[in-house]
Amino acid sequence: MKAWEMEREIMENAKPVVLKEDEQTWSLIDKLEMDEDERVRLMWSSRVPGSGAPERLIIGAVQSMENLGFNADQLEILINKGLKAYEQNDMIELNRVTSKIYYEMRQLPKDENSSYWNYKQYSDWSDYENNAEFKTYPPFAILSKDFEEKIYAGWVAQICAGALGTAIEGYTTENLKEVFGDITYYVRQPNTFNDDITYELAFLKAFENKGYEVSSKDIGEEWVALVPFGWSAEGIALRNLKSGIYPPESGYLSNPFREWIGAQMRGAICGMVAPANPREAARLAWVDGIISHHNNGVMGEIFNAVMVSLSFVENDTRKILKYALNAIPKDSEYYSIVFYSLEKCKEYVSWEKSWQACESQLKKYNWIHAYPNAAAEVIALWFGNGDFDKTMNIISMEGQDVDCNAAQIGTIIGIIAGLKGIDKKWTEPIGDNLLTYIRGMKKLKISELSNWTVESIRKAKKLTI
């Protein structure tokens, strides 16, 4: 039947009824209003679910536009109006101001003095690939028991590290030290519930079905099917996808968060499915990243994907950092951030001094932006030097978006060191259970996730055991 025929049929079969008062829909309208108002209020003031850190997403959006090379001075007046409306619970004004800020962000003039414009912008994979250097290796033996063990240890390390970071994200080194002292273990009973792994599972589902031919469209449709909600860049991308705006437009259209950490936090899975093949890991990270991010935001995912891919064949985390840096185009701003961070690692004998330099250099960026978190990863990997406990200690004490950072670099250490390199103090409280909020996967076994990953890779390579 044609669409018009379907609609005509339902109308012709509908018989008039008289609804009782309690059958009418006004109460539903009230609920929808309350839900929408709460969503808007959360943009002005919220607490990170895992750690309770304060967050003001709308102000972060304006901050991000300045980082992206635009003059956002005119928005400060609107921010102050919005803060006043929020304090007075004036939802009529708060809704109006919020919409106006997003409108004005799309009209911002370019700041010609911003250093952002000194770097090349990358919007095309082939252009990116031609300006990056990738190490080459023989194919990894994916039918081996060693491969299975590396994948399993990588997942275990990622999940434990993420649980560590979830409780402490969004704070500074100084304040973490004041409250917790030197963090060397979980600060509370750990749980695996966070948003970081959500998008990796959606990628894996698409990869299971399409293998190395998986497209951004394939992954994006899994987002819509499996992920009930998102935050910052992912939230906007989900709304774009549901409105029929597909990648790459879904990643940058009306998305001030397009260079935040949301792509960087999910690069590990791309490296896992491309062991010892950093070029392919980077390509898959590009395919995945452009769903919700653009340019430097996508490079964040490539950086982590390449490091995880390298960890299957390289045991020295400092070498891995060097090779991953070369996989970023030298004329990009992301390269300059990682390069600066590595130079500070070489300059100072302690991670604390290196981090102080990087933190000061990157103070204008939000704690959810890709840059300060990339710097935190670099320093923790450099000074942790392959030791899981030490790496987790450093990445915890650096603050920022700790769960994202710890999970990604934890995967690297897990693949290199195996389960024997992860003390049981980390694994025993977690066990084999993984809790998520993704549809159809709210309760998983880590062992099942590992097997699923291995089987999907072998299937994609068209190999059988």
Answer yes or no: is 150 within a domain: yes
| Structural domain range at position 101 | 23-114
Query: Are both 31 and 135 inside the same structural domain?
Result: no
Answer yes or no: is 406 within a domain: yes
pLDDT of 465 reads 46
Query: Are both 183 and 227 inside the same structural domain?
Result: yes
Query: Are both 72 and 203 inside the same structural domain?
Result: no
Answer yes or no: is 316 within a domain: yes
| pLDDT single digits (tens) 97-146 | 999 999 999 999 999 999 999 999 999 999 999 999 999 999 999 999 99
146 assigned ligand-binding residue: no
| Angular region, 232: left φ>0, alpha ψ -120 to 50, beta rest | left
- Residue 24 clears pLDDT 90, i.e. is over it: no
Give me the percent of the chain exceeding a pLDDT of 70. Answer: 99
Answer yes or no: is 5 within a domain: no
Residue 54 φ then ψ, to 5°? -75, 150
| Angular region, 352: left φ>0, alpha ψ -120 to 50, beta rest | alpha
Query: Are both 32 and 144 inside the same structural domain?
Result: no
| pLDDT single digits (tens) 139-193 | 999 999 999 999 999 999 999 999 999 999 999 999 999 999 999 999 999 999 8
- Residue 312 clears pLDDT 90, i.e. is over it: yes
| pLDDT single digits (tens) 8-19 | 999 999 999 998
196 assigned ligand-binding residue: yes
Query: Are both 424 and 294 inside the same structural domain?
Result: yes
Answer yes or no: is 410 within a domain: yes
pLDDT of 463 reads 58
pLDDT of 30 reads 83
| pLDDT single digits (tens) 319-353 | 999 999 999 999 999 999 999 999 999 999 999 99
Query: Are both 297 and 375 inside the same structural domain?
Result: yes
- Residue 195 clears pLDDT 90, i.e. is over it: no
pLDDT of 20 reads 83
Answer yes or no: is 130 within a domain: yes
* Residue whose token pair is 């935050």: 231
Query: Are both 85 and 137 inside the same structural domain?
Result: no
* CATH number for the domain that contains residue 453: 1.10.4080.10
Task: Answer with the one of 114, 147, 172 that is the final residue of a domain.
Answer: 114
- Residue 464 clears pLDDT 50, i.e. is over it: no
3-state secondary structure the chain: CCHHHHHHHHHHCCCCCCCCHHHCCHHHHHHHHHHHHHHHHHHHCEECCCCCCEECHHHHHHHHHHHCCECCCCHHHHHHHHHHHHHCCCHHHHHHHHHHHHHHHCCCCECCCCHHHHCCCCCCHHHHHHCCCCCCCCCCCCCCHHHHHHHHHHHHHHHHHHHHHHCCCCCCHHHHHHHHCCCCCCCCCCCCCCCHHHHHHHHHHHHHHHHHHCCHHHHHHHHHHHCCCCCHHHHHHHHHHHCCCCCCHHHHCCCCCCCECCCHHHCHHHHHCCCCCHHHHHHHHHHHHCCCCCCHHHHHHHHHHHHHHHCCCCCCHHHHHHHHHHCCCCCCHHHHHHHHHHHHHHHCCCHHHHHHHHHHHCCCCCCCEHHHHHHHHHHHHHHHCCCHHHHHHHHHHCCCCHHHHHHHHHHHHHHHHCHHHCCHHHHCCCCCEEECCCCCCCEEEHHHHHHHHHHHHHHHCCCCC
Among candidate residues 264, 359, 342, the one with its CA nearest the CA of residue 303: 264
401 assigned ligand-binding residue: yes
pTM attached to this predicted model: 0.96
Task: Answer with the one of 62, 95, 114 that is the final residue of a domain.
Answer: 114
Average pLDDT of the segment spanning 395-405: 97
Query: Are both 97 and 213 inside the same structural domain?
Result: no
Query: Are both 163 and 76 inside the same structural domain?
Result: no
Answer yes or no: is 379 within a domain: yes
- Residue 199 clears pLDDT 60, i.e. is over it: yes
What is the residue-averaged pLDDT of the chain?
A: 96
Q: In whole angstroms, what is the distance from residue 422 CA to residue 420 CA?
A: 6
Query: Are both 90 and 150 inside the same structural domain?
Result: no
Domain count, the chain: 2
Average pLDDT of the segment spanning 206-229: 97
Query: Are both 107 and 170 inside the same structural domain?
Result: no
Answer yes or no: is 8 within a domain: no
Task: Answer with the one of 90, 114, 138 that is the final residue of a domain.
Answer: 114
| pLDDT single digits (tens) 29-87 | 888 899 999 999 999 999 999 999 999 999 999 999 999 999 999 999 999 999 999 99
Among candidate residues 201, 206, 203, the one with its CA nearest the CA of residue 439: 201
Query: Are both 316 and 389 inside the same structural domain?
Result: yes
